[in-house]
Each structure stands twice: as C-alpha cells, then as structure tokens.
Chains A and B, each alone.
Chain A
Amino acid sequence: MNELSDSLSGKVPKLNRLFKFQFEPAQDCYVLLFPEGMVKLNPSASEILLQVNGERTISDIIDALLTKFPDAEGLGEDVFAFFEHAEEKRWINYV
C-alpha cells in the first residue's frame, strides 16, 4: 500500500450534490450533469461511480469491483487514482 491508498481506503465518497449521474442512451455512456454542463465518463469511471452510494468506503468499492471484474489488473490503483481525480474535479466529496 502506498501513501495515497493509505489515506483514502477508509473514506466514504458521495456524489457532490451539484452533479447528477445518469446513463445517456444517445451518447451510449454514463455522464455527469451539472449546471449547464456535461462530462462523458469512460466505462471504468462509470463502474466506479455506480458503486458510490454515500455508505461504502473506497475499500468496500474496490472489493465489490474485484468480485465483478476478477481478472482486472491493477484495479485498486485505478480506483484510487479515479477518486483523486474526482475530488479535484469536485464530482465527489467525502462523508
């Protein structure tokens, strides 16, 4: 475990109330909507955000994703990197 994962794994992320997360059929992807704007999400980011419910810790989320995608390599690191990015973008904050 590195410094980043140590500081994050016990945290409980929730979606920032400024953002709405939904699937867009016309774009064929999940998006984040906010006042007058939209971010298209790639499949990995979407899978991670689908696990965010304001109750699960980041390690719970990693466990859930490992069950769903047992062959994914480096999944934990990807999840930590995503949350670092998501906090910077203000998509999520911590309970």
Chain B
Amino acid sequence: MASFTTLTSTAAPLRVENVDTDQIIPAKYLTAVTKEGMGLGCFSNWRYLEDGSSNPEFSLNQPQFAGAQILVAGRNFGSGSSREHAVWALTDYGFRSVIAPAFADIFYNNSFKNGLLPVVLPEATVTQLWATLEANPSASITVDLPSQTVTLPDGSSTGFEIDPFRKACMLEGVDDLGYIMKRDAAIAAYEAKPAY
C-alpha cells in the first residue's frame, strides 16, 4: 500500500457539499474488473459537457489547478455508495489528499487503504481556504502527517485529528490484512466456539 508522510502541492477548491461517490465516479465506470484507469471517470459528470468536451466552468478543468494533488471540498465528502472505485479514481487522477469539514464513514475508511489522506479541518477554515485558492491558485499547501498539521498559503498552520493507529499504518504504508492475519490463532479459537 502507498505510504503518506508529507505533501506540498497546489490545491483545487471544490465548493460543493455532500459530494457523493456517484459524482466522484459515476456507475458507468464501475464495469471494470481492475482498478486501473479510474481517473478517466473521476467527476466525469461535472468535468465533461454533454458532447464530451471539457467543461470550462468546473474548477478541476481550469489550467491553474492542473496538477493539484490536494482537493478541498465541502462537508460530507464521499457520501453514498461504498464503491472504493471513488478512491481509486481520485488517486489515479492525481490526488493524494482531500481536505473537507467532514467525510462519510465508508469513503474515509477506504481512503486509508489506498494512501489517500483525508484531512478534517473546521468548516470556517475550509471556507477561507476556498477563497484563498480562488484568489491565488498557485498557492501551495503542505499536509504533514507526522505533525498532523496543514500549512496554509499564508504560512499559518492548523492541526488536524487522526486516529493514531490509522496514522501509523499510513506512515508505514502497511494494510490491515497483515495485522489481522497475525491473529490467526485468535481467529481459529473464536471459530472453534459455538455461536450460541
């Protein structure tokens, strides 16, 4: 699994609440049997116009946000479907971190399995950040996992909370399965007991 320590990048503002996973990756892209190439469908309903051309209104299509590895979105990001394809789409598109005031549970959980760091910042900070990024798109943000801080374009730092276990796994790039399978004896003992 990809690890995450620190990231300095430009950031793309997405002033939308409740971005559901159907928007991040619409159902028509879910017919694949691999993870590859999901970036093509990332936000496709917003990125492309009906004739298939690029939608100039959509922030990710604006040249100043090309190459941004951080997405800054509204609250309840990743709601709806459990499709991990949403995380694969974001990482394949080039994002390594999403900042939002709140995330939906399943999406949040899936992000850690793929080296995409979800960062919860207060709503007021996110609203301020949108304005800053819109005014100065070339501004960089630093997301630093070891110190649990985000350094904003004005040089100020703000802390974020993260579960210590998830943090350690993310820093080392290890996944749950290795941890679980070390408990083979405990699992076998559990399975040997009658259910009721």
A and B form one complex = no
